[in-house]
Amino acid sequence: MLFTKMHGLGNSFVIFNQLDAAMEYQDYHQLAQIVSNVNFGIGSDGMILICSSNSADFRMRIFNEDGSEGENCGNGLRCVAKLLVDHKYITTSPFTIETLGGVMSVEVEDDDEKQVQYVTVDMGEPALLKNRIPMQGDPCTIAMNEPHSFGGDIYRLTCVSMGNPHAIIFVDDVNEVPLDKIGPIIEHSDLFPERINAGFVHVKNSREMDYRVWERGSGITMACGTGACAAVVAATLNDMLDRHLPITVHLPVGDLTVRWDENGHVWKRGKATYICQGELMIDTNSISSTIKEDDEKGGN
């Protein structure tokens, strides 16, 4: 199984291109766990499949580290767009990529050697109602700065779906948040029947914010593109930012530019980077058994 490993601001993915030939191995949920495992696989935050689509130019499927399938992934979209253009699967820009969260429009910017440097994605309109997150409570209301108890402490949540669900929490210093402890508590709370991504945000001024994230199904990651978009939407709703201005979102290893436009669409611009290419050759039966035993012991 030939693969390409890429990252968007440190958020890494093992990508399998199924446009030329479909993989024989079809248990994608198990395969995602295998390839994401740093000891027995390749090591990543998740797995991406590039497929053909009946409703867009291409289709992207994203699987988290725990094998669950996600609806959307902003960093993954940039990686897929770069790979498709660099390898001449498409020569026009913008073009469209289908996800479980909807069809996304992407536009690329080349360098002098015709390699993609930046990718801008139209992430569509955010969903705010609780039944769209989904979240317990009145389905036709919005969770905006809403207090809830997690781990014995009160956190005020603003919840946004960018095709996948995000709980945004504003703090004075994102680096002081015990993300490894509070992240899984929020993710698995009964408030969220399909679990949730937990993002912590410090708004520095009207044009900048810091952001850290615990991702549903993957844990702490270096970046989350949909989460950065949700953070800008949440901060705007809470009157911390001016609508329509481009906002620089500082993540642990780099920046994204996000803008919530006058038509209600959220735009995200950033880089995507190759790490390596190779061929995956593993005994899936023995490895999956080892991963299962590791999970039952509690992992690392």
CA distance linking residue 148 with residue 141, whole number of Å? 16
Q: 10-20 burial string, b = 16+ CB within 10 Å, else e?
A: ebbbbbbbeee
Provide the annotated active-site residues: 73, 224
Distance CA 216, CA 22 (A): 27
Q: In whole angstroms, what is the distance from residue 51 CA to residue 1 CA?
A: 15
Beta-bridge mates of residue 156: 147
Q: How many CA atoms lie within 13 A of 167 on its CB side?
A: 30
Environment class of 282 (CB within 10 Å of its CB; exposed 0-12, middle 13-18, buried 19+): middle
Give Dmax (Cα) for the chain: 54
Judged by DSSP in three states, 140 sits in coil
- Compute the Cα dihedral for 209, 81, 106, 166 and give only its sign: negative
Distances 155 to 85, 110, 130, 142, 241 between C-alpha atoms, Å: 42, 42, 17, 16, 21
